[in-house]
Amino acid sequence: MSGFLKIFGWPILLALVSLIGLVAALIGDGAWDGLSWLCLAAPLAVLVWVLLTRRG
Amino acid sequence: MRPATVRIWSLVHKWTSLICTVFLLMLCVTGLPLIFHHEIDDLTGHDRWRPANPGGPMLTYDQVLETALKRRPGEVPIFMSFDDDRPVVNVTSGPTADAPGSRMTFAPIDRTSGDPVPPTPAGGVMDFILQLHTDLFLGLAGMLFLGAMGLLFAASVISGIVVYAPFMRRLPFGTVRASRSARVKWLDYHNVLGAVTLAWVLVVGVTGVVNTLAGPITDSWKAGALASLSAPYQGKPPPARMASLDAAVRTAQAAMPGMEVQFVAFPGSGYSTGHHYAVFLHGTTPLTRHLARPALIDAETGDLTAVQDMPLLSKVLSLSQPLHFGDYGGLPLKILWAVLDLITLVVLGSGVYLWLGAGRRKPVAVTPDEARA
């Protein structure tokens, strides 16, 4: 199980956060839009972080 | 996973990708300007347009319709829709109510004067891009073909998740071995970029496939719920004189208080029966804005026949549109959509690169075993 999470932990987490982001803006305006932007920007932030720290 | 299983999934990943990639590249490239359709329209003059008599009295819908049809002698009305940010009513007409899209005329009209609203300069280019993106200029067949490509793409993404595992067994998430060979480096980019865009790409892909089924889904609604409404009219000629459109809209709004008019489908058109105005109303929250409900108004008497809830498939279709277009959360959401689209282009491109390189060097340069090294 830990092997599975080691491989898929990050992708699953980012997918769940993205899905919350995709649905949030459909539910409401204002704060819901803000939540949507945060959640869809999160995977991009993680991408920037790994490219800065794990590229060698 | 057993090596034989991995081999089967890699074959699935390779072949589904190979077939759909060229179309997905086209969809990502044409999709990029389409995300900003509204902004491009505004930049090229859409928002500089002013009504002839701002604040003046507005023409009724019946007057707008009469004005539009006078300019298109011999044509019949098909749809009427309403801009929400300006006093403009759009009348779509054609030689017959069931004319194909290519024979329809779309006429935006100033409600304060009846003057035609000039088309936006970029309209032609954007229409070209939209049509290429939607159906390759091949109508329903093209749409369904792109839908099939979308399904292959979804299969390619899912098989991609499976073959991702053996490569990543010994690597921390997001590792890019940039100092290794170009092939290893681009494999790592392909993996990390694919992994962070996974959910978005699947949602946009699958909702795109649903959108390609718009025609069949709408036809099934017509054949089901709408057919029972037109049964009492069996054998009757089309309406001889048309009831007031304004009265029909008022009747529909009285039946669904608090909702706004989205569009009206005229008798015989793709979204109504041969004997009704279908007045589609939608709510005002982001969710209900996308879920329109029609009131069917007898086009001859102006009486309300029924208010309908759309069937499940039609609702799925309605919600697939915003989730595909990314136009439901302001400009920041569109910018995120564009960035994710560009990343997807890199995933597609690196996939092609890895495939092109696959046969060049033997033994295959990057096997799961090498990835462990």
- Among candidates A9, A22, A55 on the partner chain, residue whose Cβ is nearest the Cβ of B178: A55
Nearest to A18 among B200, B287, B328 (CB): B200
- Same domain (yes/no): B224, B315: yes
Best mutation target among B333, B341, B343 (most A Cβ atoms within 10 Å) is: B333
Band (pLDDT 50/70/90 cuts) for residue A55 is: confident
- Parallel, antiparallel, or unpaired for β B304-307 and B293-298? antiparallel
Same domain, B319 and B335: no
Q: Are residues B76 and B98 in the same domain?
A: yes
Q: What percent of chain B has pLDDT over 90?
A: 77
Residues B208 and B288 in one domain: no
Domain span at B173: 3-39+129-213+327-372
- Which of A22, A37, A38, A39 should we substitute to test contact with B (largest number of B Cβ atoms within 10 Å)? A22
**Statement: residue B236 has pLDDT above 90:** no
- Mean pLDDT for B171-178 is 93
Q: What's the pLDDT score for residue B191? A: 97
> Are B290 and B249 in the same domain?
yes
The answer to whether A32 contacts B286, with C-beta atoms less than 8 Å apart, is yes
The chain B residue lying nearest A54, using CA atoms, is B175
B363, pLDDT greater than 50: no
Using a CB–CB cut-off of 8 Å, the residues of A that contact B are 3, 7-11, 14-16, 18-19, 22, 24-29, 32-33, 36-37, 40-41, 43-44, 46-47, 49-51, 54-56
More confident call, B361 vs B158: B158
**Binning pLDDT at 50, 70 and 90, where does residue B360 land?**
low
* Interface membership of B159 toward A (CB under 8 Å): no
Q: Do B199 and A16 touch (CB under 8 A)?
A: yes
Q: What pLDDT shows up at residue B43?
A: 86
For helices B245-255 and B61-71, what crossing angle results, to 10°?
Answer: 140
B221 and B198 in a common domain:
no
Q: Can you give the residue range of the structural domain that contains A15? A: 2-53
Q: Closest by alpha carbon to B204, among B270, B135, B154, B277? A: B154
Whether residue B123 is contained in a domain is answered as no
Over residues A35-53, mean pLDDT: 97
| A to B CB pairs, distance under 8 Å | 102
Domain end position, chosen among B290, B305, B325:
B325
Domain match, B306 and B347 both: no
Residues above pLDDT 70, as percent of chain B: 96
Q: B148 and B110, same structural domain?
A: no
**pLDDT tens-place string over residues B44-91:** 877 788 999 988 899 999 999 999 999 999 999 999 999 988 999 999
Domains held by chain B: number: 3
What is the number of domains present in chain A?
Answer: 1
Smallest CA–CA distance, residue A15 to chain B, in Å, is 5
Of the two residues B2 and B333, the one the predictor is more confident about is B333
CB contact under 8 A, A40 and B333: yes
Residues B152 and B24 in one domain: yes
Asked if residue B48 belongs to a domain, the reply is no
Verify that B205 and B245 share a domain, yes or no. no
ipTM of the complex: 0.96
Q: Which whole number is the average pLDDT over B153-162? A: 97
pLDDT (tens digit per residue) in B101-153? 889 999 999 999 999 998 877 778 998 999 999 999 998 999 999 999 999 99
Q: Sorting pLDDT into bands at 50, 70 and 90, what band is B234?
A: confident
Looking at residue A1, what is its pLDDT?
Answer: 53
Which residues on A lie below 8 Å from B157 (Cβ)? none
Which of B196, B318, B328 should we substitute to test contact with A (largest number of A Cβ atoms within 10 Å)? B196
Residue B27's pLDDT is 98
Within an 8 Å CB–CB cutoff, is residue B197 touching chain A?
Answer: yes
The answer to whether B239 and B316 have CB atoms below 8 angstroms apart is no
Q: Which amino acid is at A47?
A: L
Going by the DSSP 8-state scheme, the letter that residue A30 receives in this structure is: T
Winning range, highest mean pLDDT, from A1-5, A26-30, B344-348 = B344-348
Q: Tell me, what's the pLDDT at A16?
A: 98
Same domain, B35 and B167: yes
3-state SS string for chain B: CCHHHHHHHHHHHHHHHHHHHHHHHHHHHHHHHHHCHHHHHHHCCHHHCCCCCCCCCCCCHHHHHHHHHHHCCCCEEEEEEECCCCCEEEEEEECCCCCCHHHCEEEEEECCCCCECCCCCCHHHHHHHHHHHHHCCCHHHHHHHHHHHHHHHHHHHHHHHHHHHHHHCCCCCCCECCCCCHHHHHHHHHHHHHHHHHHHHHHHHHHHHHHHCHHHHHHHHHHHHHHHHHHHHCCCCCCCCCCCHHHHHHHHHHHCCCCEEEEEECCCCCCCCCCEEEEEEECCCHHHHCCCEEEEEECCCCCEEEECCCCHHHHHHHHHHHHHHCCCCHHHHHHHHHHHHHHHHHHHHHHHHHHHHHCCCCCCCCCHHHHHC
B359 in a structural domain: yes
Give B-chain residues touching A56 at CB under 8 angstroms: 176-179
Residue of A26, A40, A49 with shortest CB distance to B286: A26
Residue B200 in any domain: the answer is yes
User: Do B331 and B321 belong to one domain?
Assistant: no
Would the CB atoms of A54 and B172 count as touching at under 8 Å? Answer: yes
